[in-house]
């Protein structure tokens, strides 16, 4: 078993991982940039090593420095968290070469799922429903248009290396195809140095539903139910919840089994997420697989009672999952609101600065994952998410009421935040009815 784990991340997720390790009796190594000398993860870990300047490229994204820190401190494993190097197959290969356990899937699986058009092909072969569209990659507008004309409009052009909306264009009519295809492809070449595109039928007003899965080295794969992540702004999730009001027990079983089949088809290992689009008629389509722990994992932890970080560590240690599918039950309802240091009045511009006063609510079924404290200076260099508020209660209405109470009590002074915006959504009539889809924020707030 691991005696010491290095956490190749910062912020609340680094703190979250340190806590899990401590509960398991595993020693922890934090790595930090010069901007994070006073950060909570730097203070909470058993050891901390400075790995370079604020700029992520020279610190949290610098593979050699992180590997060196691991070797120097004799850590046996690296937990990458999310973002940074978590989906970098070169880094995973480097870990393998240095005999360091990477807490996540193999380099090969990261590569195969990171290539979205290849992932699509793999899922088609595994009998997983995907959005109607091209089976093979498309490299030029003329070829793409033939497929789109046959499919019927609207279609959506996507970059194979894409994600988060980059290199993606909706095309409403044949006249607009060529321009939109070329724009999306140019964006992809600039962002990912990859001109590989694919085309799908555009699903109108879908829900974003994702299934959490766990897979160990012994061939055991389970799903932990779904998260509804339809409340997004510019492809950034704002609120996530589990379960989804759009999914009944029968559909959960069907989609969950599909997610497990998808994971088995690629010989997946560790924690992963299968993203689906769910349309109004209840049809679901595979969209992408995320090969990392996700920001919103706490809502799944609240409804299943499992600790996903501990399960990830168990899996990397070669142990079997602590549960079978029959042991897993989705109990009650959990909601997460992401609190960002940003100004919703000024186009959600990030607002770094010093935390002058802070009050975190508590109580039954309330969880706050954060790495900020009184007097802490939020550096301008990194993500603006400073806090995740998660609540759990017996049903959705009770969880919404609890979130309303918690957000009303939450105080973060010194920087602008989106707390009031979150409070507004939680009180929104359509949200309360569960009448949500990926366009909710656009439709309700014009954003
Ligand atoms: C779609 C879609 C509808 N139909 N694909 C968004 C990011 C990337 N992960 C895939 N995304 C989508 N893919 C098909 N075939 C809708 C989205 C989508 C979206 C699209 C336009 C504006 C906002 C959106 C928010 C979430 C998802």
227 found inside a domain:
yes
Residue 113, in any domain of the structure = no
Co-location of 268 and 228 in the same domain = yes
Residue 36 CA to residue 382 CA, distance in Å, equals 10
| Whole-number Å distance between alpha carbons of 268 and 264 | 6
Select from 285, 154, 303, 321 the least CA-distant residue to 243: 303
377 labelled catalytic: no
Q: Is the CB of 321 under 6 A from ligand 1?
A: no
* Residues 187 and 235 occupy one common structural domain: no
Ligand 1 pocket mutation pick from 154, 155, 156, 276 by most atoms within 8 angstroms of CB: 156
CATH number at residue 18: 3.40.50.20
pLDDT at 165: 83
- The reported pTM is 0.97
- Closest ligand 1 atom to the C-alpha of 164? 7
293 and 220 housed in the same domain: yes
Strand partners, 340: 385
Kindly state whether residues 280 and 178 are assigned to the same domain: no
81 Cα: distance to centroid of ligand 1 (angstroms): 25
Domain-embedded: residue 433: yes
Do 227 and 302 sit in the same domain of this protein?
yes
Domain boundary among 146, 173, 201: 201
Are the CB atoms for 70 and 28 separated by under 8 Å? no
Does residue 277 have its Cβ closer than 6 Å to ligand 1?
yes
- Residue 124 included in any domain: no
Provide the sign of the torsion angle of the four alpha carbons 113, 156, 133, 238, taken in this order.
Answer: positive
Average pLDDT, 10 consecutive residues per value, the chain (447 residues): 98 98 98 98 98 98 98 98 98 98 97 93 94 93 96 96 88 96 95 94 97 98 98 97 98 98 96 97 96 98 98 98 97 98 97 97 98 98 98 98 98 98 98 98 96
CATH of the domain at 177: 3.30.1490.20
Q: Using the CB atoms, write b or e for 285-309: b if 16+ within 10 Å.
A: bbbbbbbbbbbbbbbbbbbbebbbb
State whether 83 and 140 are in the same domain: no
Asked which of 201, 232, 251 is the last residue of a domain, the reply is 201
Domain boundary among 103, 123, 151: 103
Do residues 225 and 332 share a domain?
Answer: yes
> Does any domain span residue 120?
no
Residue 258 lies in a domain: yes
Range of the domain at 376: 207-445
> Is residue 193 located within the same domain as residue 214?
no
**Are 152 and 57 contained in the same domain?**
no
- Is the C-beta atom of 436 inside 6 A of ligand 1? no
Report the number of distinct structural domains present in the chain. 3
Q: For the packed helices 11-23 and 308-316, what is the interaxial angle rounded to 10 degrees?
A: 70
In this structure, is residue 82 part of a structural domain? Answer: yes
Please check whether residues 223 and 264 belong to one and the same domain. Answer: yes
The residue from 120, 121, 207, 292 that is catalytic is: 292
Q: What is the pLDDT of residue 190?
A: 94
Per the CB < 8 A criterion, the answer to whether 145 and 174 are in contact is yes
Closest C-alpha residue for ligand 1 atom 24: 438
Residues 258 and 402 in one domain: yes
- Pocket flag, ligand 1, residue 154 (CB < 6 Å): no
* Residue 441, in any domain of the structure: yes
52 with 74, same domain: the answer is: yes
């Amino acid at each position: 078993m691991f005696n010491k784990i290095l956490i190749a991340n910062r912020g609340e997720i680094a703190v979250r991982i340190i806590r899990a390790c401590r509960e398991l009796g595993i020693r922890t190594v934090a790595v930090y940039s010069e901007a994070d000398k006073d950060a909570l993860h730097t203070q909470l870990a058993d050891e901390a090593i400075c790995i370079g300047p604020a700029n992520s490229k020279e610190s949290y994204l610098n593979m050699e420095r992180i590997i060196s820190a691991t070797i120097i401190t004799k850590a046996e494993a690296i937990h990458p968290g999310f973002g940074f190097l978590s989906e970098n197959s070169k880094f995973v290969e480097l870990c393998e070469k240095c005999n360091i356990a990477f807490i996540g899937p193999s380099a090969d699986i990261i590569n195969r799922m990171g290539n979205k058009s290849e992932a699509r092909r793999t899922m088609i072969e595994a009998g997983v429903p995907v959005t109607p569209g091209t089976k093979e990659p498309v490299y030029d507008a003329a070829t793409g248009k033939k497929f789109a004309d046959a499919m019927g409009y609207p279609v959506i052009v996507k970059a194979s290396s894409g994600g988060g909306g980059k290199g993606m264009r909706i095309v409403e009519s044949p006249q607009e195809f060529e321009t939109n295809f070329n724009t999306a492809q140019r964006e992809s070449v600039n962002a990912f140095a990859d001109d590989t595109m694919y085309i799908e039928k555009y699903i109108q007003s879908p829900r974003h539903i994702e299934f959490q899965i766990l897979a160990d080295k012994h061939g055991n794969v389970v799903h932990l139910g779904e998260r509804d992540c339809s409340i997004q702004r510019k492809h950034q999730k704002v609120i996530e919840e589990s379960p989804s009001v759009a999914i009944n027990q029968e559909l959960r079983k069907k989609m969950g089994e599909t997610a497990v089949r998808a994971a088995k088809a690629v010989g997946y290992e560790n924690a992963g997420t299968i993203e689906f689009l769910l349309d109004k008629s209840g049809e679901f389509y595979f969209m992408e697989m995320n090969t990392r722990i996700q920001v919103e994992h706490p809502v799944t932890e609240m409804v299943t009672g499992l600790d996903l970080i501990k399960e990830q560590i168990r899996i990397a240690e070669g142990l079997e999952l602590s549960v079978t599918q029959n042991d897993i039950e989705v109990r009650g309802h959990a909601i997460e609101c992401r609190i960002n240091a940003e100004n919703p009045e000024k186009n959600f511009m990030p607002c770094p600065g010093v935390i002058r006063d802070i009050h975190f609510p508590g109580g039954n079924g309330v969880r706050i994952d954060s790495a900020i404290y009184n007097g802490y200076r939020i550096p301008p260099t990194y993500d603006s998410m400073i806090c995740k508020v998660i609540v759990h209660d017996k049903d959705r209405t009770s969880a919404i009421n609890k979130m309303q109470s918690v957000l009303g009590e939450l105080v973060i002074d010194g920087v602008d935040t989106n707390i009031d915006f979150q409070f507004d959504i939680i009180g929104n009539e359509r949200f309360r009815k569960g009448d949500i889809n990926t366009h909710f924020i656009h439709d309700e707030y014009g954003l």
